[in-house]
Amino acid sequence: MSNSSKAKFSTRMLTTLALLTAIEIVLSRFLSISMWNIKIGFSFVPVVAAAILYGPLAAGIVGALADFVGALLFPIGAYFPGFTLTAFLTGLVYGLFLYRNQGWPQIIAAVAVNQFVLSLFLNTLWISVLYNSPYVPLLATRIIQCVVLSVVQLLCIPAIAKVVARFRGSIQS
């Protein structure tokens, strides 16, 4: 088994991903501003950290697992698998853009895809289906959330990248 294969499945990596998943659950379920159609918070932070440290698949798993386990342990409403899919895709997008390089073009692209494709269009579709609400009016109310979170993420992701870079050796070794 090569060193890269060992690193992909190390106990340290699984422990780190489990910790990031737990942090995401706490940030999402207890430290976010939530209404039935809008959610603003910092639950993206552990997913971004997983993306930078371990790449798209690991970040996708953190996002999806946190959504699923959070919905089981601390339900906010009915569980809907569409949101878990979006959480996985969110981590995947962060990983695709941020795993190797956290420059401004990558950060802007990751935030834009996540906020204005996945959150605005896809999550709005899931809310529309789940609550039987008309899609376009719902879309209009969710634009504010996406703009606010875009600004928050654009300000936070460079700081997250610096913190992760500082501790990368101790986390990954």
Tens of pLDDT, residues 13-28: 999 999 999 999 999 9
Domain of 100 in residue numbering reads as 3-172
DSSP reduced 3-state for 169: helix
pLDDT band at 38 (very low <50, low <70, confident <90, very high): confident
Residue 145: strand, helix, or coil: helix
CATH label of the domain that carries residue 90:
1.10.1760.20
* The predicted structure's pLDDT at residue 21: 98
Q: How far apart are CA 71 and CA 74, in angstroms?
A: 5
Number of domains in the chain: 1
